[in-house]
Amino acid sequence: MALLLKHFGSAPTLNAHLQAALQKPILASAGGGASLPAVVTTSTPSAAVAAAAKSKPVDVAVIGSGVAGLTATLRLLDRGAKVALIDKEKRLGGNSAKASSGINGCCPDHSRSDRNVDDSIAAFAADTAKSAKREASDMIQLLVESSKSAIEWLLKRTSIDLTKMAQLGGHSYARTHRPSNGMIGAELVYALQREVKKFESSGQLQLMQGTKVTSLLQDGSGRVTGVAYEQGGAEGQLLVPETVLATGGFANDRTNTSLLAKHRPDLLRFPTTNGEWATGDGMKMAMAIGAGTVDMDKVQIHPTGFVDPTDVSASTKVLCGEMMRGVGGILVSPQGTRFVNELSPRDKVVEAQLETGADEFGLILNEAMAKEAGKHVELYTKKGLLTKVKGVAGIAEWMAGSSGVAGASDASALANALESSLAAYNAAAAQGRDEFGKVYFHNAPIPLNETLYVGRIVPVLHYCMGGITFNQMGDVLRTDGSVVPGLHAAGEVSASPL
């Protein structure tokens, strides 16, 4: 999936720590201008300082340790807050660690090139609104206007490499940033948690891994005052002035209180890219105290999840990132024919997949595409998810084989169809447009008799576009639109009527 960071405007209703941490990043680009407030030192504290910090009450509980939770935690810590970071898993990162394609943003100075020289905030907002199938709103404007400073903050605060750029589905320009040395999710989670953990020895950070939050606590006025939790078979409570939900979505919710079954029972048949932890816990807890929700039926199906030939029936698939089509990868049916503009928005690609009547599809890349994809292809090939073959004949033989695409034609028929499909694709690339409306043909042509890469893919549940309602300041809203005092949201758990 392409990774979006949600940032918020300053909020007078929050305490001083939370207000500063959740405001829009104000880092200047590499030319001067405003800068962040001074970062709190993370040098080894004296024994007295550490003891004082450890005895100080927790200011904020952040529930969930994906990119949204880690980012909120780090910004709070940098401004002196004492934070409890809670996750029901023993490992930090959540589904964010699985992200592979990058972070969308317009337009940090380092990312400008002839591929996006004409890109603008207006163009980014228009693309976002078009994909959302609604008019550009204040929330869309906030997202796109904050994207540059968000990326610049990440670069400065974590030193992550975001030098690679790609134009992915639904985007008019190359504005998706990723590392040159690995997958964006793993690299970003590693970089953020490294910085966050520097505060642990001082007592400013309280890490509560393997701890499941079971409910939100409230006082008589309805203000959220903390959380109840389970840890190692024991129950406990943590009382805090402010709580941030960053618990993700429900794209793998197969529980007896399944939000997926409630809102999209028709999607239960699809596998998912999400871990077993993606059960909508934060949404359920917020709804239990009256939080509103919006677009809960808007569950995104990603067009490309890898089928592992060694575990074909696995309900959780490895994500075949958007970037694999962004570098030029094409999709073919089990009969060897193209059927879609691979750079269309995800919903359009999935719609075309379903219209074929097939369950599985082939993904094809040439060597130029594989080179641009870099570590992604290396990893997928090592895992046996991509196979290196010789030309059209090699693809046909692989697709028709025991590890190939379900429902594939025999190798001879496939070879003929693939040769015709690739020849037509190459001709369209030379002309600048194909029958499906594709106008960007990165790393074309695809040679018919040279080294190619092929993978077996299926549509997969990937991301919840809806969630609990919140405002531009990150405050969770009740069903009547009023603020739930003491409760805030970040990342996939949250949503707004964009």
**Catalytic (active-site) positions:** 302, 325
Alpha-carbon dihedral angle through residues 376, 247, 70, 107, given to the nearest 10 degrees: 60
Q: What share of the chain is helix, strand, coil (3-state, %, to 5)?
A: 35, 20, 45
Is 413 strand, coil or helix?
Answer: helix
Distance set, CA 346 to CA 113, 151, 247, 450, 463 (Å): 25, 24, 24, 30, 11
With b meaning 16 or more CB within 10 Å and e meaning fewer, what string describes 51-78?
Answer: eebeeeebbbbbbbbbbbbbbbbbbbbb
What is the DSSP-derived secondary structure letter of residue 307?
A: P
Q: How many CB atoms lie within 10 A of CB 310?
A: 10
For 182, half-sphere exposure in the C-beta direction (CA atoms, 13 angstrom radius) is 12
Are 83 and 60 in contact by the 8 Å Cβ rule? The answer is yes
What number of residues does the chain have? 498
Q: In one letter, which amino acid is 194?
A: R
Residues 446, 440: Cα–Cα separation, whole Å: 14
Are 281 and 213 in contact by the 8 Å Cβ rule? The answer is yes
